[in-house]
Amino acid sequence: MTVFLCENGFDGILSGVYDVYASRLGIDNCRLELADGYEPELFCDVREVPREREKAKKVAETVRRRMSEEACLRLYRASLHKSPARADAILRFIALGLGCGSRILRMLQEKAVYEIFRMDRAVANEAHSLVEFARFERLRSGLYYGMIGPENDVIELVAGHFADRFPDTDWLLCDEVRRKAALHSHGGALVIHAGIEKERIEALRAEKAGDPYTDLWKTFFRTIAIEERRNPKCQQNMLPLRYRKYITEFQ
Amino acid sequence: MIIQENLDLKRKLEILTDAAKYDVACTSSGVSRGGKRGYVGNTEAAGICHSFSADGRCISLLKILYTNQCIYDCKYCVNRVSNDVVRTAFTPEEVCTLTMEFYRRNYIEGLFLSSGILYSADHTMEQIYRAIRDLRTVHRFRGYIHVKAIPGTDPALIEKIGYLADRMSVNLELPTAESLKRLCPGKSREKILLPMRGIQCGIAANRNELAVYRNAPRFVPAGQSTQMIVGATPENDFQMIRTAEALYRNFDLKRVFYSAYIPTVPDKELPAPAGGPPLLREHRLYQADWLLRFYGFEADELLSAERPNFNVLLDPKCDWAVRHLERFPVEAMTAEYDTLLRVPGLGVRSARRIVAARRHGKLDFADLKRFGVVLKRAAYFLTCGGRTYFPFRFEENFITDCLIGDERRNAWEISHGTAFRQLSLFDDMKLEAEPDRTDAKKALFGEL
């Protein structure tokens, strides 16, 4: 068994897929793992794969041509999933898809397809939840500032939604867990910054006190509930506790 | 009646939210509109909920009344003229500010503006028109707007509002004309149906216009909805869903909402339900409503004059299935899509997945489970590769007993207010709408 260790991110994983094929060892004799957090095993030949944009682009092109645009998009979303097995799942999906073409997306009974379907769904669901539950506060500087703490690496998907929604606003959306931030300027540019220091996040958080509309919103939120229908269990089903840490009305 | 105008914004918001909370509709679905430079906002076809209040209902829109002053004396309503509450009204500017500031902080998806009636229907709707006109033109808002049309308004005014709003609704309130006459002295069935018909005709005419001129302004693009109160009058479930079905067929409604009656102002004409609002009945009506809209059922199949109310212990689909065992079991590998949809435990998505996947190979029950089929219900009505999930006696009483065992706990929890599931069309409704080609490209190369 040969284990290929690839870098994190969609490009990193696709570069790994490229090298697995380029090695001509046969898919069944190879495994693709993320270098990050890989535990060395016995009786394995380990090869490291650097991220290369060109290789990733070729693989993505092939997926799009041989399977479909949609397949490529699903792989992209699956690559954002938190599971350490995501790289290998993407490899298996591509291996199967090269054989059967665009109908692969419908073959849910195949394990390789189902795994990607499951990861894609989890990522898309979480991204959608954060589109719903992300909250911004206006800082004194006029910047709208929001913080999220997702399980999967969904900030790109979430930021895309807000870039469309608020094209002329300066806003910053920060992923506290991965210390990534999406910064949107009123000119329309959206940039994702990685590796932000903890202190800067703390400093921003300290600055955000004193937005008058948070109080009005809490009033609305409290008043809109009908006492006779009180149902905390349903509320918790729809709005899980883990999101509430970042939601204005639950502070 | 004195209208308090010198209250501060927070107090006004509190009063006018409190007065609006019994309105059920709070959806932001039905229209997809991308963002644009120079404007604020977009809308998504699937709708977005932003929060869930302590009663478990979704908060999607800023649901407020323009004013809680009212000339009518509808017996069930908190804002009836004879009820002694503090009355106030927003100004158009206040409505705009609240909407924009809440929207920018991602608290809401848009505005739901309803109102009591100040002086006359026309006067009130004129105020509402001014508020949403400013919101669209001055504040350049592209988010969702839902406006309640007040019966008796000038049709020309409704038309003007229809070009600014995404959804409009006229509340039917009660399913029969007699009940309406008894509880709402100022309203009549004809008066309510008139604006509903007007909006329907407007939408139909606009559809034709859009077919020719793609960029023509859109009239009520997310369609219209209505709501009925459950349990305030003696109508049975059969009458309720017959009315709902007629509204879907004849008035092209997008949604009919049901609202369990909550006694707010005691009146001799109104019941005082002992065990709280009829939540289970409301839940069954919503389940049946889904069957009408998405599963190809008809009201006459679910209930009849002899059996006018839903089974408390079984959901309407299971109830229908055990009474029609001659149609079951259905073979998952070969049955048509429409037939699969009628199997309890299968939904639109799981049925679609089965139809797509079975073309490429055999399925087994483990696959079905992964596709989202609820086997504890479907097992009694489905075969896969010629076999049932487990051996059982294929007989009405036996199956009913097995199904009730599961459902009894749910029913108890809903009627006692400890659990209430919000209905959803799909088991994984939170999936985003499919992005288009350019989005896909951007996503792939990290340009998002």
Please say whether the beta carbons of B129 and B161 come within 8 A: yes
pLDDT band at B430 (very low <50, low <70, confident <90, very high): very low
Q: Residue B432's pLDDT is what?
A: 43
Q: Residue B422 and residue A146: Cβ atoms within 8 Å?
A: no
pLDDT band at A98 (very low <50, low <70, confident <90, very high): very high
**Chain B partners of A247 at a C-beta cutoff of 8 Å?**
51
Torsion region of B277: left, alpha or beta (phi above 0 gives left; psi -120 to 50 gives alpha)? beta
Torsion of CA B101, B103, B108, B113, to 10 degrees: 70
The answer, yes or no, to whether residue B407 has pLDDT greater than 90, is no
Chain B contact for A232, CB < 8 A? yes
Which residue in A51, A54, A155, A223 has the most chain B C-beta atoms within 10 A of its own C-beta, making it the best mutation to test that interface?
A223
d(CA A221, CA A235): 13
Roughly what angle, to the nearest 10 degrees, separates helices B92-104 and B121-137? 40
Q: Residue A168 and residue B62: Cβ atoms within 8 Å?
A: no
The answer, yes or no, to whether residue A156 has pLDDT greater than 60, is yes
The answer, yes or no, to whether residue B445 has pLDDT greater than 60, is no
CA nearest B202: which of B240, B254, B162, B236?
B162
How many Å separate Cα B106 from the centre of its chain?
Answer: 22
The answer, yes or no, to whether residue B5 has pLDDT greater than 80, is no
pLDDT band at A39 (very low <50, low <70, confident <90, very high): confident
The answer, yes or no, to whether residue B353 has pLDDT greater than 50, is yes
**Chain B partners of A72 at a C-beta cutoff of 8 Å?**
440, 444
d(CA A108, CA B351): 13
Tokens describing residue B210: 């859009």
d(CA A15, CA A6): 7
Residues 203-232 of B with CB under 8 A from A: none
Region B421-444 average pLDDT: 52
A145 φ, ψ (degrees, to nearest 5) = -125, 130
Q: Residue B410's pLDDT is what?
A: 73
Q: From residue B52, give the alpha-carbon distance in Å to each of B48, B166, B352.
A: 12, 22, 30
Alpha-carbon radius of gyration of chain B:
24
**Chain B partners of A192 at a C-beta cutoff of 8 Å?**
446
Size of interface A-B (CB pairs under 8 A): 214
The answer, yes or no, to whether residue B429 has pLDDT greater than 50, is no
**Chain A partners of B361 at a C-beta cutoff of 8 Å?**
107, 109
The answer, yes or no, to whether residue B303 has pLDDT greater than 90, is yes
Chain B contact for A37, CB < 8 A? no
Chain B contact for A230, CB < 8 A? yes
d(CA B203, CA B205): 6
Q: CA triplet B171, B243, B48: central angle to 5 degrees?
A: 50
SS3 A221: helix
Chain A contact for B436, CB < 8 A? no
Chain B contact for A238, CB < 8 A? yes
Which residue in A131, A132, A148, A172 has the most chain B C-beta atoms within 10 A of its own C-beta, making it the best mutation to test that interface?
A132
Q: Residue A251's pLDDT is what?
A: 86
pLDDT (tens digit per residue) in B263-296: 888 888 888 777 788 999 999 999 999 999 999 9
Residues 134-173 of B with CB under 8 A from A: none
The answer, yes or no, to whether residue B401 has pLDDT greater than 70, is yes
Percent of chain B with pLDDT over 70: 91
Q: Residue B443's pLDDT is what?
A: 55
Chain A contact for B98, CB < 8 A? yes
Which residue in B7, B52, B106 has the most chain A C-beta atoms within 10 A of its own C-beta, making it the best mutation to test that interface?
B106
pLDDT (tens digit per residue) in B196-250: 999 999 999 999 999 999 889 999 999 999 999 999 899 999 999 999 999 999 9
A36 φ, ψ (degrees, to nearest 5) = -65, 115
**Domains in chain B, please, with CATH?**
3-302 (3.20.20.70), 325-415 (no CATH)
Of B39, B362, B431, the CB nearest to A121: B431
**Chain B partners of A156 at a C-beta cutoff of 8 Å?**
443, 446, 448
CA nearest B219: which of B138, B133, B160, B156?
B160
Q: Residue B10 and residue A219: Cβ atoms within 8 Å?
A: yes
Chain B contact for A251, CB < 8 A? no
Of B10, B17, B432, the CB nearest to A127: B432
Average pLDDT for chain B? 89
Chain B residue at shortest CA distance from A240 = B52
Q: Residue B425's pLDDT is what?
A: 55
Distance of residue B28 Cα from the nearest chain A Cα, in angstroms: 12
**Chain A partners of B17 at a C-beta cutoff of 8 Å?**
219-220, 223-224
Distance of residue A136 Cα from the nearest chain B Cα, in angstroms: 4
Q: Residue A203's pLDDT is what?
A: 79
d(CA B78, CA B23): 11
d(CA B143, CA B100): 10
Region B172-185 average pLDDT: 90
Please list, residue by residue across B274-303, b when 16 or more beta carbons sit within 10 angstroms of its beta carbon and e when fewer do. eeebbbbbbbbbbbbbbbbbebebebeebb
Q: Residue B418's pLDDT is what?
A: 52
pLDDT (tens digit per residue) in B16-53: 999 999 988 888 998 999 999 999 999 999 999 999 99
Please say whether the beta carbons of B103 and B151 come within 8 A: no
Chain A contact for B409, CB < 8 A? no
3-state secondary structure chain B: CCEECCCCHHHHHHHHHHHHCCCCCCCCCCCCECCCCCCECCECCCCCCCEECCCCCEECEEEEECECCCCCCCCCCCCCCCCCCCEEECCHHHHHHHHHHHHHCCCCCEEEEECCCCCCHHHHHHHHHHHHHHHHHCCCECCEEEEECCCCCCHHHHHHHHCCCCEEECCCECCCHHHHHHHCCCCCHHHHHHHHHHHHHHHHHHHHHHHHCCCCCCCCCCCEEEEEEECCCCCCHHHHHHHHHHHHHHHCCCEEEEEECCCCCCCCCCCCCCCCCCHHHHHHHHHHHHHHHHCCCCHHHHCCCCCCCCCCCCCHHHHHHHHCHHHCCEECCCCCHHHHHCCCCCCHHHHHHHHHHHHHCCCCHHHHHHCCCCHHHHCCCEEECCECCCCCCCCHHHHHHHHHHHHHHHHHHHHCCCCCCCCCCCCCCCCCCCCCHHHHHHHHCCCC
The answer, yes or no, to whether residue A178 has pLDDT greater than 50, is yes
Distance of residue B248 Cα from the nearest chain A Cα, in angstroms: 28
Please say whether the beta carbons of A123 and A80 come within 8 A: yes
Q: CA triplet A153, A159, A163: central angle to 5 degrees?
A: 165
Distance of residue B273 Cα from the nearest chain A Cα, in angstroms: 12
pLDDT band at B416 (very low <50, low <70, confident <90, very high): low
Q: Which helix (H) or strand (E) is A93 found in, with range?
A: helix A86-100
Q: What length is written for chain A?
A: 251
Tokens describing residue A229: 């229908």
Q: Residue A213 and residue B51: Cβ atoms within 8 Å?
A: no
Region B89-107 average pLDDT: 95
Q: Residue A225 and residue B21: Cβ atoms within 8 Å?
A: yes
Chain A residue at shortest CA distance from B63 = A224
d(CA B76, CA A165): 40
Chain B contact for A166, CB < 8 A? yes
Q: Residue A238 and residue B428: Cβ atoms within 8 Å?
A: no
pLDDT (tens digit per residue) in A81-94: 999 999 999 999 99
Q: Residue B366's pLDDT is what?
A: 94
Interface predicted TM-score of the whole assembly (ipTM), two decimals:
0.93
Chain B contact for A108, CB < 8 A? yes
Region A93-108 average pLDDT: 93
Lowest mean per-residue pLDDT among A21-30, A205-214, B118-127: A205-214
Q: Residue B270's pLDDT is what?
A: 86
Percent of chain A with pLDDT over 70: 99
d(CA B378, CA A107): 22
How many Å separate Cα B134 from the centre of its chain?
Answer: 27
**Chain B partners of A160 at a C-beta cutoff of 8 Å?**
439, 442-443, 448
CA nearest B74: which of B248, B195, B191, B197?
B191
Roughly what angle, to the nearest 10 degrees, separates helices A69-78 and A111-133? 70
Q: Residue A225 and residue B53: Cβ atoms within 8 Å?
A: yes
Q: Residue A151's pLDDT is what?
A: 95
Chain B contact for A139, CB < 8 A? no
Chain B contact for A51, CB < 8 A? no
More confident residue, B333 or B270: B333
Chain A contact for B19, CB < 8 A? no
More confident residue, B223 or B444: B223
- Maximum Cα–Cα distance for chain A, whole Å? 67
**Chain B partners of A225 at a C-beta cutoff of 8 Å?**
21, 53-55, 57
CA nearest B109: which of B150, B58, B151?
B58
